[in-house]
A and B are shown apart, each in its own frame.
Chain A
Amino acid sequence: MVNVNNVSKTYQEVKVVDGVSVHIKKGKITSFIGSNGAGKSTLLSMVSRLIPKDEGSVLLDGEEITSYDNRELAKRLSVLKQSNNIKVRITVRELVSFGRFPYTQGKLKDEDKKLIDESIHYMNLEAFEDRFLDELSGGQKQRAYIAMVIAQDTDYILLDEPLNNLDMKHSKQIMKALRRMVDELGKTVVIVIHDINFASCYSDHIVALKDGKCVYEGTTEEMISNDVLREVYDMEFNVCKIDGNRICVFFT
């Protein structure tokens, strides 16, 4: 379980994350939603110790995240940022292999290679595994990054807009893969996501941010409702039940 207590971050005297407290349950998919600039990425970066927080605490299984040993933490929690720009020349397979670094410190064993193969397979990247990252399309790159996180094989997986650049087929594939990792392997997944219908169909728990504050938090059922979404996004939604899923209509 991850307990986020009263976390804040200030940039140029603006509190972009303002006293947010969230409980991330083990073995569930939790989605962070909210408009552009609401503070989702900043919150996720603080939860994953990528940036220091100004106030508050983040407890991973009861212990403050910044007091963990770096390497041990990397075996328990992985994070993928919203935009990744790796400048060096590296192939997909090499990138995915880096996911094993916390365990191997660079020397891959057979079982690591097996996990790397599996991750590449999971993200449907076999055809690209020897291609250089800078020769791939945006969506192929994104899948390579996700494969690396999967190879890291951590209990907690934090992804900032994992569906960035992905077509519908691959978006669905990745959400299904995340669901499977949660249901079958007991992982805990936190995603930042803009596609409200993917959030609705695949997440267990939703946290809504607005202007740096957590305005609503609850189960998907509670959160996907006209009133809550109107409040979060300042626009009209029409939530319909289709095939047992709550689908939001807001396009016109």
Chain B
Amino acid sequence: MGYNKKLVLLLSLSVLSIVLFVFWDIGEYWDYALPRRLEKAWAIVMTGAAIATSTVIFQTITNNRILTPSLIGFDSLYVLLQTAIVFFLGGGTLVMMNNQFHFLLSVGLMVVFALLLFLFIFKREGKNIYFLLLIGIILGTFFSSISDFLQVLIDPNEFLIVQDAMFASFNNTNTELLLLGGVLLLCATLYLLRYAKYLDVLSLGKEEAVNLGVDYDGVVKRLLGIIAVYVAVATALVGPITFLGLIVANVAHEVFKTYRHNYLIPGAIFVSIFSLLTGQWFVEHIFTFSTTISVIINFIGGIYFIYLLIKENDAW
């Protein structure tokens, strides 16, 4: 099957999943249900696209198929930043007004963190992905623990008020940030388009990219900044989903078996949207909310992650 055919197939699947999610069993109060379902579907579509794109780019930069932004603690960092902001700036009566501001502040801090990551890890000679993975897992755990700690310290009343809005999940998507998040994603994507032509070259490795005239440090720094924005928006909308990126990026590579990002990225996006929406449909209509999609994805993804580690080990 040709690349374009595969792409059309995946696109159809994701459109189908949107239709299924929005219209299934909508009932007679559809004028009430429809806008809510549409909002939720839109949040999930944006999240899926953001996670897929950021993971494919990240794996291209690091030339590996195991590491993802979540696995090195990017989304735990976002949760930590949100918690810290509520902790230090307080929630209180201005919560709703502040929410968007908190969000923007966290996104800004995420980008700063991405640049620090670049300075301390990517610029070092002879970076090793297992070292990165180790550092990332330690940092991720560290970030989550501090978040938990701060959340315990926050005044319980205040915490309840902000929790809903700031710490989203799939069953409780953060529709308040839909517009702002969408605008940020759009900006990040427009900026990405300027650097998209370098992605294919970067997948050949650092030395080849330098040989072919890519300003390696400059491009990688910017791409990491873009990834930070994507991860922040996705996490803000539906909360962290550790293994989703790993699954969809690898499925896209398996399906397309190419280095070309004009197929890999859209492919990963469609796979991501499809699996999130059908997954969420199952959670809502079959499991009737007795589990969450994050649990399912992390279960499948975790097994897949172990499989990848073992496979990679064999290759040595």
Inter-subunit contact B213/A51 (CB<8 Å): no
Inter-subunit contact A101/B201 (CB<8 Å): yes
Q: Which of B63, B125, B197, B203 is within 8 Å of A105, CB to CB?
A: B197
Tell me the interface secondary structure of chain B in the complex.
Answer: loop
Q: With A and B bound together, what is the CA distance between A120 and B215 in angstroms?
A: 27
User: Does B211 touch A at the CB level, under 8 Å?
Assistant: yes
| Distance (whole angstroms) from the CB of B281 to the closest CB of chain A | 33
Q: With A and B bound together, what is the CA distance between A80 and B210 in angstroms?
A: 11
**Residues from chain A with Cβ under 8 Å of B64 in the complex:** 87
With known contacts A51-B125, A86-B204, A89-B259, A101–B213 Cβ distance under 8 A? yes
Contacts of B208-238 to chain A: CB distance below 8 A: 208, 210-215
Inter-subunit contact A86/B207 (CB<8 Å): no
Q: With A and B bound together, what is the CA distance between A51 and B127 in angstroms?
A: 13
**Residues from chain A with Cβ under 8 Å of B203 in the complex:** 87-88
Inter-subunit contact B211/A50 (CB<8 Å): yes
Contacts of B39-93 to chain A: CB distance below 8 A: 63-64
With known contacts A49-B210, A50-B211, A102-B212, A86–B200 Cβ distance under 8 A? no
Inter-subunit contact B259/A73 (CB<8 Å): no
Inter-subunit contact A50/B210 (CB<8 Å): yes
User: Does B205 touch A at the CB level, under 8 Å?
Assistant: yes
User: Does A85 touch B at the CB level, under 8 Å?
Assistant: yes
User: Does A79 touch B at the CB level, under 8 Å?
Assistant: yes
| Distance (whole angstroms) from the CB of A230 to the closest CB of chain B | 35
User: Does A75 touch B at the CB level, under 8 Å?
Assistant: yes
Inter-subunit contact A73/B258 (CB<8 Å): no
User: Does B36 touch A at the CB level, under 8 Å?
Assistant: no
Inter-subunit contact B204/A81 (CB<8 Å): no
Inter-subunit contact A85/B205 (CB<8 Å): yes
**Residues from chain B with Cβ under 8 Å of A51 in the complex:** 125
Inter-subunit contact A79/B259 (CB<8 Å): no
The size bracket of the interface on B is: 20 to 34
Contacts of A15-45 to chain B: CB distance below 8 A: none
Contacts of A130-176 to chain B: CB distance below 8 A: 152
Inter-subunit contact A50/B205 (CB<8 Å): no
Inter-subunit contact B205/A78 (CB<8 Å): no
**Residues from chain B with Cβ under 8 Å of A79 in the complex:** 207, 211
Q: Which of A73, A87, A88, A94 is within 8 Å of B213, CB to CB?
A: A73
| Distance (whole angstroms) from the CB of A161 to the closest CB of chain B | 15
Contacts of A45-96 to chain B: CB distance below 8 A: 48-52, 70-75, 78-81, 84-90, 94
| Distance (whole angstroms) from the CB of A78 to the closest CB of chain B | 6
Q: With A and B bound together, what is the CA distance between A94 and B197 in angstroms?
A: 15
User: Does A218 touch B at the CB level, under 8 Å?
Assistant: no
Interface centre among A85, A88, A90 (most CB of B within 10 A): A88
Q: Which of B208, B257, B258 is within 8 Å of A86, CB to CB?
A: B208
User: Does A186 touch B at the CB level, under 8 Å?
Assistant: no
| Distance (whole angstroms) from the CB of A211 to the closest CB of chain B | 21
Inter-subunit contact B207/A50 (CB<8 Å): yes
Inter-subunit contact B197/A88 (CB<8 Å): no
**Residues from chain A with Cβ under 8 Å of B197 in the complex:** 105-106
Q: With A and B bound together, what is the CA distance between A155 and B229 in angstroms?
A: 41
Nearest opposing residue in chain B for A95, CB measure: B204
Inter-subunit contact A101/B257 (CB<8 Å): no
| Distance (whole angstroms) from the CB of A89 to the closest CB of chain B | 5
13 further A-B contacts with Cβ under 8 Å, apart from A50-B207, A50-B210, A51-B125, are: A48-B211, A70-B210, A70-B213, A74-B213, A86-B205, A87-B63, A87-B205, A89-B259, A90-B259, A94-B259, A98-B201, A98-B204, A152-B211
